[in-house]
Amino acid sequence: MNEMVKNTGLFALVALLIVITGVMQSWNTALLILNMGLISAIMALGVNLQWGFAGLFNVGVMGFVALGGLAAVLVSMPPTQGAWAAGGFGVIAGLVMGAVTIVLAVLAYSRMPKGNMRVLVMLVILIGGFFLYRSVFDPAVEAIEAINPASSGNIGGLGLPVLMAWPVGGLLAAGAAWIIGKTALGLRSDYLAIATLGIAEIIIAVLKNEDWLARGVKNVVGLPRPVPLEVDLQRDPEFVERAASFGMDAVTASTIYVKLEYAALFTVVLVILLWMAQKALKSPWGRMMRAIRDNEVAAEAMGKDVTRRHLQIFVLGSAICGIAGAMMTTLDGQLTPGTYQPLRFTFLVWVMVIVGGSGNNFGAVLGGLLIWLLWVQVEPIGLWLMSTLTSGMSDGALKSHLMDSAAHMRLFTMGLILLLVLRFSPRGLIPEK
């Protein structure tokens, strides 16, 4: 019971901090923090599933989050006029040929007897396939990118409701995770960490450079939203009147209303996922996962297929990250591949999981909310701290340097928090039971 009180207290503390932000800064800021905090909590839930339940070290969270973002674009954006006719099928054909090449090469490797002949055949398949793929793929891409490059130049999406992108984001991430897991976990020893680190960079590179897909660094903006537009609300007389009755002006009221709707949506998703994660943890499947984690040899001796279980949980955890990624892009209303950075999207999520408490779902959620809040708020606090510290200094290069540098305090602080928690509360704020 005591534990229950403590945990509730911790969540209440985060709520209080958000309320303080609302009062001290603005409710818009507070809600923004809450919304991204909810998304971060979902990402942390996914990583916790992998690390906390199964001891899998995923340092490619960024890649799965970005795939979710891609899903948001591919599902919700209207299809670009004429893109499919110009090159859409060429692109698909090219990609299929690429995949067939790899499959053929793998087949040749596994079917043919060892020797120089096998190497030769594989090389011929790979090189020939590669050039064939490029000869089909490249013109198709050029054709797509030629269509109205200033505003589209990409294949566009399916024009479906954006909420559908969330599960699709999860599926996309799951697919990528399956391929990574199949290769990296299937190796004689486990090389998952480096594999995820690499794949994440590759996914970002693809998003940045394949303009036909999601416009690359030109960004996709103006994604459809699951909630009304602020300007529409401001034009709605009924809404303006309601806002006035709360004593708010229409502009503030509309932004807050929209954010609240997002918060409601995210909370629903978080609660569902949390409920599922808790169920999974307590199910025979979850018990088996932990049995494998705690004693793999014994679990293997009992006939558990450890690699298969690991693959399962890796795919599930990554899918959750993908869902969170799609939600984040929906919230932002745009996909900006240039902003995906490993520190922010991979390692910060790790800080959330470790600080919150690895192996505990509620810990992960708490960590997600708390660390995100700190991540946002350290910057103004750092600025305030710096201006206080330098208030006695005369204006000069040093002072302006210090003021400029205050923004980088957040990285330092995150590291410090992680190290302090690891040192003094290594199980995290809400330890695993």
Partner 1 sequence: MSNGNPYQDDRGNKDRSITNPAGQGSQMPRSKSGKVTAAPGGPFLIGEAMTGGYGKGPDILHDCTIAVDRGEIAVIVGPNGAGKSTAMKAVFGMLDVRSGRVLLDGEDITALTPQDRVVKGMGFVPQTSNIFTSMTVEENLEMGAFIRSDDFRDTMAQVYDLFPILKEKRYQAAGELSGGQRQQVAVGRALMTKPKVLMLDEPTAGVSPIVMDELFDRIIEVARTGIPILMVEQNARQALEIADKGYVLVQGRNAFTDTGKALMADPEVRKSFLGG
Partner 2 sequence: MDLLNAIITLTNFVIVPAIAYGSQLALGALGVTLIYGILRFSNFAHGDTMAFGTMVTILFTWLFQSWGISLGVFPTALLALPFGIAGCALFVLLTDRAVYRFYREQKAKPVILVIVSMGVMFIMNGVVRFIIGPDDHAFGDGERFIISARTFRALTGLEEGLAIRTSTGITVITAVIVVALLFWFLNKTRTGKSMRAYSDNEDLALLSGINPEKVVMVTWIIVAALATVAGTLYGLDKSFKAFTYFQLLLPIFASAIVGGLGSPVGAIAGGFVIAFSEVTITYAWKKVLVYALPDGMGPDGLVQLLSTDYKFAVSFIILLVVLLFRPTGLFKGKSV
Which parts of this chain interact with partner 1 (CB under 8 A)?
A: 51-52, 54-57, 189-195, 292-296, 358-359, 426-427, 431-433
For 79-95, b/e burial (b = at least 16 CB within 10 A) is ebeebbebbbebbeebe
Residue 255 identity:
T
In the list 199, 269, 320, 374, the residue contacting partner 2 (rule: CB under 8 A) is: 199
The listed partner (partner 2, partner 1, none) that binds 292, CB under 5 to 8 Å by sort, is partner 1
- Among 205, 244, 268, 393, the residue binding partner 2 under the rule CB under 8 A is 205
What is the separation of C-alpha 287 from the centre of its chain, rounded to a whole number of angstroms?
Answer: 27
Residue 154 — left, alpha, or beta (φ > 0 → left; ψ -120 to 50 → alpha)?
Answer: beta
In 232-339, DSSP assigns E strands to 334-335
| Subset of residues 31 to 90 that bind partner 2, contact rule: CB under 8 A | 55, 57, 59
CA torsion, ordered 63, 279, 360, 374, to nearest 10 deg: 60
Q: How far apart are CB 183 and partner 2 at their closest, in Å?
A: 6
**Amino acid at residue number 321:** C
User: 89 is in the binding site of which of partner 2, partner 1, none (Cβ under 5 to 8 A by kind)?
Assistant: none
- The one segment of 24-32, 37-45, 201-209, 326-334 that binds partner 2 by CB under 8 A: 201-209
Radius of gyration in angstroms for the set of CA atoms belonging to the chain, rounded to a whole number: 24
Closer Cβ to partner 2, 226 or 382, answer by number = 382
Nearest C-alpha neighbor of 195 from the set 205, 204, 185: 185
Residue closer to partner 1, measured from CB, 190 or 332: 190
Q: Which option in partner 1, partner 2, none does residue 415 bind, with CB closer than 5 to 8 A by kind?
A: partner 2
Q: Which residue carries 């400029």 as its tokens?
A: 404
Interface stretch with partner 2, choices 9-17, 239-247, 274-282, 422-430 (CB under 8 A)? 422-430
DSSP letter assigned to residue 218: G
45 binds, among partner 1, partner 2, none (CB under 5 to 8 A by kind): none
Widest pairwise Cα distance in the chain: 82
Position 351 contacts partner 2 (CB under 8 A): yes
What whole-number distance in Å separates Cα of residue 99 and Cα of residue 102? Answer: 5
Q: Which residues bind partner 2 (CB under 8 A)?
A: 55, 57, 59, 130, 183, 187-189, 191, 193-195, 197-199, 201-202, 205, 208-209, 341-343, 347, 350-351, 354, 404-405, 408-416, 418-419, 422-423, 426
